[in-house]
Structure 1
């Protein structure tokens, strides 16, 4: 029996694929173009229930997250995944919200909310990994360049805004555990506790780079201007909106009671260790 990994060539799926194969487990990349995979792969059509059900059938576990795109496309994909899971009944499903926060007391209509509810009612063993902000955001040229060249870590959050930052490497550790250990179900929040402020991030970069790094808050609009060349205006618009929203929030911390630290005894890497593990 195999583990099916969606997006195994991407930022979230690739570390999960690597973690499983490094542990000697049978992982199969579920991708549109199998020529991009050096290893076991299966071609899937994200718009086809039959295609996904065929990939999931008999699987020991499935890791899935919703790719970036238009909300209507994400919603369609969520429904397709849900139907395929009900039809194929894999032994376990682990779903990452990719930074989207879930409130179980509210019946949201976003794709992530819909898929979370569908999993809960599917009758299949499942867990939902709920990260906040990814540390890998700080590696984009728009941020990493000034950090190295000017000692200025510029990001669109307030200096006092504490966040449960998490890396894709740590998410992969949690996903791998949840795929192989069915004892924990429901939502598992992942991220630093206590949260990290801009000064904490800068201190981690200072230790790793061996040079002084300071944190500088920039506006969401300015950040958008810097990353539009990388992702395009349409993709960046909701990113800007999310950081505008953060300007008016007290912070962004995961609830400790449902954290990976409490539920799985897994503590995320420090900023310095994350940078060292990546070899940036």
Structure 2
């Protein structure tokens, strides 16, 4: 049996491939480019606009890991509809979907999976620690000792890493009794000051946190992901900062449901080899 992983060459999919490969299973890596190569996996280029290609990729799979690209809402909904249609036709034994930080209660894939009769689970992270490694974020940390991010300084968030998502995905493929939404992230939630202190310890220098506007953050994202995707990110932060916090709940947490404890920011930096001590 084979496990199918969407976005297998990307930041979220590649750790899932690595975690599954460590289990010695067969993997089909879904990519957008036919010339992409993924270690330990069979690579398959699939157009998310093609229900037939998606169905063929899923057929006979033991598990499918899905996450959607950062695109406008209309395209995101179209892709979600195509994937759900293909999943219903192919009937893989298990589906694990990550909302990629988008609110789970307004996610088209999450809602459709709940009505699909498939064995499924939805991973709901908040923010990715890997966002703090973006070049313009790291430039501020290393050059100025300032960690800039579009959240208020005292805004408590359940940050997690792509490595934590991979751990949760593998656990959910194995623990099929766990269904519905599983929230992944640090608990208690951490603030911008906490993040800055972790980087200060890792880099051996003073680092302070400075809030950034979502507009400024999005402008600096454009060279890396394009204007349309940056606008989606900007809109997301503008909505989130209106909330009192963005912390996971204990009842549906990976800690409670899967017995997994997501990495602290300090441990994440160590795991990435970025800790100088």
TM category (shorter chain) comes to: over 0.9
Q: CA deviation at 1:131?
A: 0.6
Residue 45 (structure 1) aligned with residue 47 (structure 2): yes
What is the 5 A alignment of 1:28-39? 28-38=28-38, 39=41
Residue 47 of structure 1 aligns to a residue in which SS? Answer: coil
Report the counterpart of residue 100 of structure 1 in structure 2.
Answer: 102
Q: CA deviation at 1:55?
A: 1.1
Report the counterpart of residue 77 of structure 2 in structure 1.
Answer: 75
Residue 258 (structure 1) aligned with residue 252 (structure 2): yes
Check whether the contact 1:61–1:179 (CA below 8 A) recurs between aligned residues.
Answer: yes
Report the counterpart of residue 272 of structure 2 in structure 1.
Answer: 278
Check whether the contact 1:153–1:213 (CA below 8 A) recurs between aligned residues.
Answer: yes
Report the counterpart of residue 14 of structure 1 in structure 2.
Answer: 14
Q: CA deviation at 1:242?
A: 2.3
Check whether the contact 1:227–1:236 (CA below 8 A) recurs between aligned residues.
Answer: yes
Q: CA deviation at 1:29?
A: 0.2
Deviations 1:156-179 (A, max 9, x none): 111110000010010111011111
Residue 4 (structure 1) aligned with residue 7 (structure 2): no
Q: TM-score, normalized by length of structure 1?
A: 0.93
Task: Tell me how far apart the structure 2 counterparts of residues 241 and 32 of structure 1 sit (CA, whole Å).
Answer: 25
Q: CA deviation at 1:234?
A: 2.3
Check whether the contact 2:36–2:43 (CA below 8 A) recurs between aligned residues.
Answer: no
Deviations 1:132-174 (A, max 9, x none): 1111111111111110122111111111100000100101110
Check whether the contact 1:6–1:29 (CA below 8 A) recurs between aligned residues.
Answer: yes
Task: Tell me how far apart the structure 2 counterparts of residues 30 and 247 of structure 1 sit (CA, whole Å).
Answer: 34
Q: CA deviation at 1:50?
A: 1.6
Q: Which runs of 5+ in 2 are unaligned?
A: none
- 1:232 corresponds, among 223, 226, 237, to 226
Task: Tell me how far apart the structure 2 counterparts of residues 242 and 49 of structure 1 sit (CA, whole Å).
Answer: 28
Residue 196 (structure 1) aligned with residue 198 (structure 2): no
Deviations 1:94-147 (A, max 9, x none): 0000101223xxxx4xxx2x2222212222110000011111111111111110
Task: Tell me how far apart the structure 2 counterparts of residues 247 and 125 of structure 1 sit (CA, whole Å).
Answer: 34
Check whether the contact 1:5–1:17 (CA below 8 A) recurs between aligned residues.
Answer: yes
Pairs aligned (count) = 272
Q: CA deviation at 1:24?
A: 1.4
- 2:148 corresponds, among 136, 154, 159, to 154
- 2:201 corresponds, among 187, 200, 207, to 207
Residue 118 (structure 1) aligned with residue 112 (structure 2): yes
Q: CA deviation at 1:228?
A: 2.4
Q: TM-score, normalized by length of structure 2?
A: 0.94
Check whether the contact 1:204–1:270 (CA below 8 A) recurs between aligned residues.
Answer: no
Q: CA deviation at 1:241?
A: 2.4
